[in-house]
Each structure stands twice: as structure tokens, then as C-alpha cells.
Amino acid sequence: MARVVIVEDDDTIGDRLTAMLRAQGYESEWCPDGAAALARAAREPAELVLLDLGLPDVDGFELCRRLRERLPGAVLVVLTARTGEMDVVEALESGADDYLTKPFRLAELQARIAAHLRRASPGGRGAGDAVRIRHGALLIDLAARRCLTPVGEVELRPKEFDLLARLAASVGQAVSREDLMSDVWDENWFGATKTLDVHVAALRRKLGERVRITTLRHFGYRLEPPPGH
Ligand code: CA
């Protein structure tokens, strides 16, 4: 049974989350502050942590970092009333795997928890696999499927995101059109298609100077390393 730890100082939210998680068949434990959360983390592992960033006794980002160290295998989902994208980036850089902005729907939280635990379970994606790719000023968050910059999120369509993630996974390397089509569109590539080029053009337009995607004639594309790398 998956162990879910709730770190939340609001009694009403804590009660509701505990009831919801138990009803879903998880073992859930509620910690009302940072000290209780750290004590819990030292006692035994957990599969998932729901962490409210606004706690009375400790800075949420700092707690996030310390929980990340103590529970390296756990999925950390941050719950925040803060909506600034800088906070989102800082939370992800502090070790969070995902985040939800308050107020959120319980159904949305349930779906995210189920998806994370499925991925983290044996047969799913291992906890050691990268869930975020840092590319210069971009933070490509594979778990949340978001592309973040210090000045805000860049809205990408699903295939644009997949294409960026695929190129970023092979940064500095030439990737053939065939590989991009089969990895991103999940289909074999026969002859000319404009789909790939249209999506590359969209990435260049939306991301501007943050990415440099070189066209390799009669071959494919290459995402150049960010400046300074
Ligand atoms: Ca709070």
C-alpha cells in the first residue's frame, strides 16, 4: 500500500485530504508542520508527499529541499497558494516533482497522485529517471509537461512539448527526421511531411533566443547547447 504523507497546517484541508486518500486505499499520514514532516521522513520512507509551501515553522522551499534529501525515492507534490511562476520554478528546483495551485479540485489531485504512483511503481518509470531537463533559461518539466522560464511559462501544444523534450534529451546531437517522427508522432516516417517542420517553426517562434535549433538538410535537426555550456 502506497504511503502518502500530507504536510499541511490547515486542519480542514488536512482532514479532507486524509479522508480522500484513505478512501482511495492509500496509507496516509498528516503532519501539521515542518518539524513533524522532517521527523516523519526520518522514521520511514514514503512513496508520495503532498507539501503545502506555506507552513508556520519553516520556509516551504527549504523544507522541500530537506524532504528531497531524506526521501530520495518519494514523489514530491507541492501545494501552493502562490501563483507566481518564479515560485513554481523555485519549487521544482528545490526538488518538487509536480505542483498544484490552490484552490484545486480533489479529482485533479487524485488523478495526479494515481499517475505519479503508477509511474513510480515497479514496471513504471524509475525514480532515478530524469523528470526535468534544464536547458539554459528553460526548465522542461517532463512530469508536469510544462516549459518554464524565469519570466513565465511558455505555452506549448502537446506535440511541440514532446518534440522539445526529445531534442533536449539529445542536446548537441543530430537527430534524424525519421527518429523524431517515430519518437514524437509514434509512427514511421515515409517521405516528405511538413508536420515536423511546422512544429520546429512553432518552437523557434515561441521560444525565441532561448533555443537554437539547427536544420540539417536531408537529415533532421539538432538542438544546440545553451550559451555558456
Ligand atoms: Ca498553509
pLDDT tens across 93-127, in order?
A: 788 888 888 888 888 888 888 877 876 665 444 44
Residue 128: pLDDT over 60: no
- Residue closest to 18 by CA, chosen among 36, 6, 10: 6
Cα 157 to Cα 161: distance, rounded to the nearest angstrom:
6
Distance 194 CA to ligand 1 centre (A): 49
Cα 84 to Cα 218: distance, rounded to the nearest angstrom:
43
Distance 19 CA to ligand 1 centre (A): 18
Bridge partners (DSSP) of residue 75 are: 48
Distance 51 CA to ligand 1 centre (A): 9
In the chain, count H helices and then E strands: 8, 12
Distance 211 CA to ligand 1 centre (A): 37
User: Would you place residue 217 in the very low, low, confident or very high pLDDT band (cuts 50, 70, 90)?
Assistant: very high
Amino acid at 77: V
Distance 215 CA to ligand 1 centre (A): 48
CB contact at 8 A, 116 and 97: yes
Distance 161 CA to ligand 1 centre (A): 32
The CATH topology of domain 132-223 is Arc Repressor Mutant, subunit A (1.10.10)
Distance 32 CA to ligand 1 centre (A): 9
Q: Note the pLDDT tens digit of each residue in 174-189.
A: 999 988 887 787 655 4
Residues near 75 by Cβ (< 8 Å), separated by ≥ 6?
47, 48, 49, 97, 98, 116, 117, 120, 127
Which of 19-23, 82-86, 156-160: highest mean pLDDT?
Answer: 19-23
Distance 4 CA to ligand 1 centre (A): 18
Give domain limits for the chain: 3-120, 132-223
| 62: its cell numbers | 527549504
Mean pLDDT of the chain: 85
Q: Which of the two residues, 124 and 213, has the higher pLDDT score?
A: 213
Q: Note the pLDDT tens digit of each residue in 46-96.
A: 999 999 999 999 999 999 999 999 998 888 999 988 666 667 778 877 888
Q: Which of the two residues, 159 and 77, has the higher pLDDT score?
A: 77
Rg of the chain over CA atoms, in angstroms? 20
Number of CB atoms found within 10 A of residue 79's CB: 22
Establish whether domains 3-120 and 132-223 are of one fold: no
| 174: its cell numbers | 543530430
CATH 3.40.50.2300 correct for 3-120: yes
Distance 95 CA to ligand 1 centre (A): 19
CB contact at 8 A, 78 and 51: yes
Q: Which of the two residues, 29 and 152, has the higher pLDDT score?
A: 29
Cα 29 to Cα 205: distance, rounded to the nearest angstrom:
46
Distance 62 CA to ligand 1 centre (A): 15
Distance 10 CA to ligand 1 centre (A): 6
